[in-house]
Amino acid sequence: MTPRRRSGSAGQPQKEHKETRGLPTGVQWITVDPDMAGQRLDNFLMARLRGIPRSKIYRIVRKGEVRVNKGRVKPDTRLQAGDQVRIPPVVKPEKPTSSIPGDRVQAVMENAVMFENDELLVVNKPSGIAVHGGSGLSFGLIEVLRAARPEARFLELVHRLDRDTSGLVMVAKKRSTLRFLQDELRRREVHKHYHALVSGHWSAGVSEVSEPLLRYEMTNGERRVRVDTDGKPSLTRYRVLDTWPGYSLVEASPVTGRTHQIRVHCAFAGHPIAGDDKYMDAASQRAFRRLGGNRLMLHARSLEFRLPGGEQWLRLEAPYDEAFTQVLAALTR
């Protein structure tokens, strides 16, 4: 990547343009202030291009239409105070009239809050709800929370869960909290533990899977992940919690945080997660449906992390939803 150089604001066209559907119609030059230092470029752009699909934001970065200090950059580039960010004009797609989360879904999300203080929210996200809108979805968890809390000046996801995975998600209420917890995640000081119902008998002797993972796109544009020597190093630790004929309940603790990591590592070990329509074979899916299963059986069960501003540690545990509980009950019967 081309070395990044600092450039002052002199000579940069600080343009003001009329706006179309809430977005400027011309090129923007934005100076990164100290409060935003350390933020990833893709998150920086998402905050300024509300309503633009993430896929489109990644596309304009890849094409070089977004520049930092006049140089091409990658979506995961960390911005520094004083950096000059060029943002091209982007047309915001028309929103459907049903894009505003209704009172019912807002109430569901508010009732799912497991912890809250002045800096942080932790939510037990239901399966089937994405963490953010886009890719054909009008809204996700973060949009619902913002609609339910119009007085909140700042609400941003600290990390993500797949749409069909339920369980604990952290949402920062301050930018300083967001930076602190994301730094803790990078330093692997946040401990995540998932519960997964997998196909087959998981041997107690298999305590970890450490296969490299590579993201790729299928011909229809769907995102997938596979074990590949060209992929990123990945490690998931496992512990058997219970077994039934044909199924095992395991605790999966990801040391790294790759896309679909637990799902692909389980499938690689020969034990795909029940209800996984991406990595489970069709015959196993049919058997799971006969059991009454209708969701991905992966749940972000617990989180252990330090609260910002001190040495106090917090441990939270999220209960299973009704669908997850019913499958386990059916196996026990």
* Per-residue pLDDT, 50: 79
Nearest alpha carbon to residue 223 among 158, 162, 145: 162
* Per-residue pLDDT, 95: 53
Q: Which domains does the chain have, with CATH numbers?
A: 19-87 (3.10.290.10), 104-173 (3.30.70), 179-332 (3.30.2350.10)
* Per-residue pLDDT, 108: 87
Q: Of these residues, 83, 162, 276, 321, which one is catalytic?
A: 162
Helices (H) and strands (E) in the chain, counts: 8, 18
Residue type, 220: N
- In whole angstroms, what is the distance from residue 244 CA to residue 332 CA? 7
- Both tokens of 45, joined, read 């752009």
Positive or negative, the CA dihedral 164, 166, 172, 173 is: positive
* Per-residue pLDDT, 19: 44
- Triad 129, 135, 137: Cα angle to 5°: 45
Per-residue pLDDT of the chain (333 residues; tens, 9 = 90+): 444 444 444 444 444 444 444 556 688 899 998 878 888 999 899 888 877 888 889 999 999 999 999 999 999 999 999 999 999 988 766 554 446 777 888 888 899 999 999 999 999 999 999 998 765 566 789 999 998 898 988 999 999 999 999 999 999 999 999 999 999 999 999 999 999 999 999 998 999 999 999 999 888 778 899 999 999 999 999 999 999 999 999 999 999 999 999 999 999 999 999 999 999 999 999 999 999 999 999 999 999 999 988 778 999 999 999 999 999 999 998
Our answer to whether residue 162 is catalytic in this structure is yes
* Per-residue pLDDT, 313: 93
